[in-house]
Structure 1
Amino acid sequence: MSDRVSLPEALIYVMVMVSASDSSMTDKELHSIGEVVKTLPVFSGFDTDDLVLVAQNCGTRLQAENGMSETLNVIAASVPESHRDTAYALAVEIAVADVRVRQEELRMLQMLRDALDLDKLTVAAIERSAQARYRPL
């Protein structure tokens, strides 16, 4: 497998990894991934018909020996510095999609932060923004 993928593919890998981190991809998470891919400008030009194939490719990578660390390496190599905050924001968006963020998702977010080499202020701002958007009544 390649050491790099396109930016849209890498961002989909990020979302799939967060969603699958707790061994269950909920309908809300899957819906959120689909909506993100359909609506965000970073995915303009990406054929949404390829979403399932890209997600399956991510799953195949994850199942390989050292799959998680290798997939994180592919993401880090494929996401330019200018879009690393975008990648983390999408990860957080999927983690909070079903309102309750599980321990496994928190661990995956930590691994993504490290792989993307994000600074603490950026991470805090993204996480705080998600908390504000998804706060229940």
Structure 2
Amino acid sequence: MNETTHAMSPQDCLVAVMVAISASDETIRTSELLKIQTAVSTLPVFEAYDGDRIRTVSQLVFELFDQEDGLDALFGLVRENLPERLNETAYALACDVAAADGALAETELRLLEEMRYELNIDRLHAAAIERGARARHLRA
């Protein structure tokens, strides 16, 4: 598993961010899992990605979350392996997963705030991304 932590693809980083936001409230909901699977199956950024890697990346995130400084380690891996041009993509995917179940827990909100900081997302851009996620996930 250690080799995996040092050989993350940009797509692995995107999956890790989505899994992290889903797991942040200690309850991974079916709607969130479906959102992750749909993103990996349909978005162009995942075009050549092996969907079987979701399980491996998820396990890495869970292992990191069990460590005291695991979140810092996760962000370190993302900073090392995710091209800066995909930072807003990562944040948008995290927002979509967080909004998928129709409610945002306090832990999800705090992690999104941390992601904005770690991914260096401008506050105005973040607000637009958040607004789009909210609009996409409104219920009638």
TM tier, shorter chain? over 0.9
1:17 is matched with which residue? Answer: 20
Give the alignment of 1:103-114 within 5 angstroms: 103-114=106-117
Using the alignment, how far apart are the partners of 2:118 and 2:6 within structure 1? 14
Using the alignment, how far apart are the partners of 2:68 and 2:7 within structure 1? 18
Residue segments in structure 2 that go unaligned for 5+ positions in a row: none
Using the alignment, how far apart are the partners of 2:7 and 2:104 within structure 1? 29
Q: Which runs of 4+ in 1 moved over 2 A?
A: 1-4
TM-score by length of 1: 0.93
Give the alignment of 1:62-81 within 5 angstroms: 62-81=65-84
Q: Is the 8 A contact 1:4 1:75 kept in 2?
A: no
Q: Which amino acid aligns with 1:128?
A: R
Q: Is the 8 A contact 2:12 2:53 kept in 1?
A: no
Residue segments in structure 1 that go unaligned for 5+ positions in a row: none
Using the alignment, how far apart are the partners of 2:68 and 2:106 within structure 1? 23
Using the alignment, how far apart are the partners of 1:3 and 1:62 within structure 2? 17
- Aligned match for 2:51, one of 44, 48, 53: 48
Give the alignment of 1:120-135 within 5 angstroms: 120-135=123-138
Using the alignment, how far apart are the partners of 2:53 and 2:10 within structure 1? 14
- Aligned match for 1:98, one of 86, 97, 101: 101
Using the alignment, how far apart are the partners of 1:121 and 1:77 within structure 2? 25
How far is 1:4 from its partner? 5.7
Q: Is the 8 A contact 1:89 1:126 kept in 2?
A: yes
**1:48 is paired with a residue of what secondary structure?**
coil
TM-score by length of 2: 0.92
| 1:47–1:4 distance in 2 versus 1, CA, 3 Å | closer
Using the alignment, how far apart are the partners of 1:30 and 1:97 within structure 2? 9
What CA deviation, in whole Å up to 9, does each residue of 1:57-77 have, x standing for no partner? Answer: 221222234111111111122
Please tell me the root mean square deviation across aligned C-alpha atoms, in Å.
Answer: 1.3
